[in-house]
């Protein structure tokens, strides 16, 4: 079976070099092994060789039996910078990832990043990424410095994304109130999952998902709590007039069309998502090479599922291949 890892992260070396120049909101230090360490509120990312060295990454994939990765940038993206800086860094990241895909098309695909703190520039970068660089879509973050993804400032972006049949993959970032999550890694362990859930519910109830039907939506980390809470969202639709204002049918009917990656390595949780959205809407994901990710657990958890071999093949790679037109 072909195995495609849909959820993993890459930092272009030239981006890290730019952060080290001192003109960034990130603080950069180095660990005892010489790895750059990026410091941001409530989070630390240790940029190991697999994050930044494509040769190392490809060797790891070969040893793990992974056929392809869909490489993406990681939270918080470039949006913590000034808008102008965010635009230039997003362009740099996208150019770098496009080169990797061009040089190693049998091993890597990619989704672009956007300077979402400049909505107008994000429209232009989406068009450039998809029409000039060959990306099939973008990874966005669950809020933009506190602004919701459902905010109308992003509707021109969604209109273009719908026209281009873009994949929009939602990855969590610093939740509002991150200052309450600075101990025990509560931000990535808990806050991330609920910020994805909040963003997704907002996109559905605001009418964005229904209004722009050409977008293919995908969610990180098994959708946060969406498969678990979807029934409650439907109850809100029936109970509260405001939850019906922008929708013609209950939230679940839209959410079942989303894609959900498997970065939750509990087979029972994976089975819940399969029961909710179907095996044809589940994407294998590892979160490689973050400390909390695992290529091995990605494969093992999917192999533990009591499903048909056809469904397993879909989850391991078939769905990602179809979604991205590989």
DSSP label at 147? E
Q: Is the pLDDT of residue 41 over 70?
A: no
Q: What is the pLDDT of residues 242-301, one digit of tens each?
A: 999 999 999 999 999 999 999 999 999 999 999 999 999 999 999 999 989 999 999 999
User: Does residue 225 have a pLDDT over 90?
Assistant: yes
Spatial strand order of the sheet with 68-72 comes to 4-9, 68-72, 108-110
pLDDT at 42: 58
**pLDDT by residue (tens digit) across 81-109?**
999 999 999 999 999 999 999 999 999 99
Note whether 177 and 168 are within 8 A (CB).
no
Indicate if the pLDDT at residue 24 is higher than 80. no
DSSP 181: G
The HSE-up count of residue 155 (CA atoms within 13 Å, CB side) is 8
pTM of structure: 0.95
Max CA distance (Å), the chain: 57
pLDDT of residue 20: 82
The C-alpha atoms of residue 10 and residue 199 are separated, in whole angstroms, by: 24
CATH (residue range 4-324): 3.20.20.140
258/223 Cα distance (integer angstroms): 9
Mean pLDDT score of the chain: 95
pLDDT at position 44 over 80: no
pLDDT tens digit string along 188-199?
899 999 999 999
pLDDT at 25: 75
Q: How far apart are the C-alpha atoms of 278 and 13, rounded to whole Å? A: 38
Give CA–CA dist 33/320, Å, rounded: 35
CB 162, CB 213: distance < 8 Å: yes
């Amino acid at each position: 079976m072909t195995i495609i890892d849909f959820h993993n992260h890459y930092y272009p070396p030239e981006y890290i070099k730019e952060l080290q120049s001192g003109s960034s909101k990130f603080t950069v230090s180095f660990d005892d092994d010489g790895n750059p360490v990026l410091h941001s509120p409530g989070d630390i990312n240790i940029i190991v060789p697999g994050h930044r060295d494509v040769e190392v990454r490809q060797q790891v994939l070969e040893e793990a039996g992974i056929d392809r990765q869909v490489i993406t940038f990681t939270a918080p993206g470039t949006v913590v910078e000034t808008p102008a800086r965010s635009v230039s860094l997003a362009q740099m990241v996208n150019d770098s990832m496009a080169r990797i895909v061009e040089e190693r098309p049998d091993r890597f695909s990619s989704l672009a990043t956007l300077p979402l703190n400049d909505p107008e520039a994000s429209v232009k970068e989406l068009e450039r990424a998809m029409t000039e660089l060959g990306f099939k879509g973008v990874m966005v973050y669950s809020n933009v410095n506190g602004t919701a993804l459902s905010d109308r400032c992003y509707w021109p972006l969604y209109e273009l994304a719908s026209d281009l049949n873009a994949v929009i993959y939602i990855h969590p970032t610093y939740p509002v109130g991150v200052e309450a999550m600075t101990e025990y890694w509560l931000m990535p362990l808990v806050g991330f999952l609920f910020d994805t859930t909040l963003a997704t519910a907002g996109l559905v109830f605001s009418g964005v998902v229904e209004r722009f039907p050409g977008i293919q939506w995908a969610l990180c980390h098994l959708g946060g709590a969406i498969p678990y809470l979807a029934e409650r969202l439907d109850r809100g639709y029936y109970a509260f007039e405001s939850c019906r204002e922008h929708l013609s049918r209950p939230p679940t009917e839209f959410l079942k069309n989303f894609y959900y990656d498997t970065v939750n390595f509990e087979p029972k949780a994976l089975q819940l998502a399969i029961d909710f959205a179907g095996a044809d809407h589940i994407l294998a994901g590892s979160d490689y090479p973050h400390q909390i990710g695992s290529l091995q657990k990605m494969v093992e958890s999917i192999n533990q599922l009591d499903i048909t071999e056809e469904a397993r093949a879909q989850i391991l790679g078939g769905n990602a291949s179809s979604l991205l037109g590989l």
